[in-house]
Amino acid sequence: MSGEVDVLSRKGYLDQYGQIARALVSVVSLGGQVALAEGAYVEAWLPLVLGQAPMLKHGQSTRDTRSVFLVGNLTAGGHLARKLLPELVVYAGASMSLPLTWGANARELEVADVALLTRAFFDTHRTFLNHLPLRLRGGAEMQFKEIVELRTELAASLALSLGSDSTELVVEQGNELQLGYQGFGVGLRVQEAFLLTEPDMAQVALEPFVNWDMSTFELFTRVGILIPIDEPMGFGLGEHGMTTLRINSGMKF
């Protein structure tokens, strides 16, 4: 079981000390996976979202920045994993996400949309409200001399509309390189997300990260900074750039 925390911040806000970064939305995902047989797993995840919807109140010139809490889509699925070579593992799986927030108001819908930015349009099935996302995914993991690890993944998500919104199709691809020794590693992730049902909608992002795996206690932790590098989110390290602090921690049984 594990928990994931994504905190999206944007630079350029002013206070008495100058420019600061302000958190826009935080997503906490709780879940895990259970082995049914050798190489066969089932998993479930539930995201919880807390954010600000800076909408203008009717008849006012100031923005309403009160926090909004909502429950994202409950995701359940499974995958198969096979070791083709001593240093190569491949996997493939599928999942379905059930929306738990119905009749969302305008502020909740806005926060859900902002939550899509926390992973730079990756894993959109978590907060596509008023949709039923169906997702296929697969990938491979390679390890060389217990020092170099390569990971690649590909996913396609079809979010079926349950209301007046349009059906969305998203393709995601990610690659990671990690160098490590005795449970500690550093690496870089490169990812691309393509919203095929939107005109000219593709987002590329980088994530440098550190990884700590305490095999003695079956604990693991990963901390990274996700940085968009192009439009539509813009360059994450720019004057008004958005970045996400990502933390993943849990234990193995």
Domains annotated on the chain, with CATH? 2-251 (2.40.160.40)
The CB-side HSE value for 167 (13 A sphere, CA atoms) comes to 7
Q: 127-149 burial, b for 16+ CB within 10 Å, e for fewer?
A: bbbbbbbbbebbbebebeeeeeb
List, for residues 100-156, the tens digit of each pLDDT value. 999 898 889 999 999 999 999 999 999 999 999 999 999 999 999 889 999 999 999
SS3 27: strand
Tokens of 29: 């995902």
∠ CA 116-96-193, rounded to 5°: 35
Task: Report pTM.
Answer: 0.91
- The pLDDT of residue 106: 86
Write down the H helix ranges in the chain: 106-115
pLDDT digits (tens, 9 = 90+) for 72-110: 999 999 999 999 999 999 999 999 999 999 989 888 999
- Residue 18, pLDDT above cutoff 60: no
Contacts of 140 (CB under 8 A, 6+ apart): 88, 89, 90, 91, 151, 152
Query: How many CB atoms are closer than 10 A to CB 97?
Result: 26
pLDDT of residue 21: 57
In the prediction, which pLDDT does 61 show? 45
